[in-house]
Structure 1
Amino acid sequence: MSLVGKEVLPFKAQAFQQGDFLEVTEENFKGQWSVVCFYPADFTFVCPTELEDLQAYYGELKELGVEVYSVSTDTHFTHKAWHEHSPAIGKIEYIMIGDPSQTISRNFEVLREEEGLADRGTFIIDPDGIIQAVEINADGIGRDASTLINKIKAAQYVRNNPGEVCPAKWEEGEDTLKPSLDLVGKI
């Protein structure tokens, strides 16, 4: 069952961000655009490459009004230790949520129950707390954060321009479509 168009379910968790611990709930996803990036575990192999890549686009995402959250079933203490010991993770400025209860991973339907680990899932959430896009990769396939920029720009455009949609490979400033009977079979 798809989570697209669904509101983020309630949760409360501890997180780590740049030397501080903080509490995060589903309410943090409201009032701004959010990217929530689930990954299997701290101190692993593909995960730090993905999170470092996401950090490389963090400034650009912030300019678009997007906050970034990474989530694993590790604790916020483990996130802190990883941040202090990994050169890649030490660069991260965004919020790293601990999900040892696995509540958030279950809510987003990315938990691998047998292993207690999350799949590689990326979610774009609008300012109302509604999931607008989902991408889930197999464990060995790392994600490319650069693909988020155009997806978010398209989601923001569609939200701000009711009745218009963005075609494949749409980039900001390009033509959009206005669905109507006149377009049926002509694209």
Structure 2
Amino acid sequence: MAVGSASAANPLTIWKERLFGRDGAEPLVHDAPDEGVVVLGLNRPERIHVDARNGSRKFPKGESHFREIELGREYEHVAVRVQVIATGNPKGRGNAVYKPILYVLDDDGKVREDKLIEPLHLDIRPFKPTRLLACVALDKVRRLVLATPNAALKKSFQSDSRSKLKASNKSAFYYSTDAVKVQMPFIDSGEVVLEVINTTRKGEGC
């Protein structure tokens, strides 16, 4: 099966490539500082680590490790493209993932809105880190907090069964995978890539 025909037949693949780039042409990801406020520019994917180094705080959906995020100014409408990178499970075998939620803050630092990032779409391929992809639209935003809902820590991400995949990568190396169903527990720390896109209308960009 050729890569092009697989993409044309799969709406999720088309969505993934439109938002996150094709294999071999994905945008450069920058590393945010491990501590302190993360200043995000537009159209600039940033890898953010959420862990105990920045402490924890009580939010409407429970206490959580968190990272505070600031944009250059308030934007009327944005789309936030999200990649959750799977990491080794600290409590057992296999991988685990962070379930993100975004809290929109007002000028006084109080939570004005919470936005659970879902649905999360599994992206698993040979030679690439397993990741979950999502996109959410926000309005009137300048300050955000990236955290996790406390209830998620008792649950797991479970994918639908993915079909077999046969394709060649950009180096013409041919590979195939069996159908797979993935389950990964949610954990309180993780690695998340965020990219903010300015949009002209409410709900655009995803």
State if a TM-score over 0.5 links the two structures.
Answer: no
Query: Shorter chain as normaliser: what TM range?
Result: under 0.3
| TM-score (ref. length: structure 1) | 0.28
- Asked which structure has the greater RCO (Cα within 8 Å, sep 6+), the reply is 2
TM-score when normalising by structure 2 = 0.26
Higher strand share goes to which structure? 2
Q: Which has the higher helix share?
A: 1
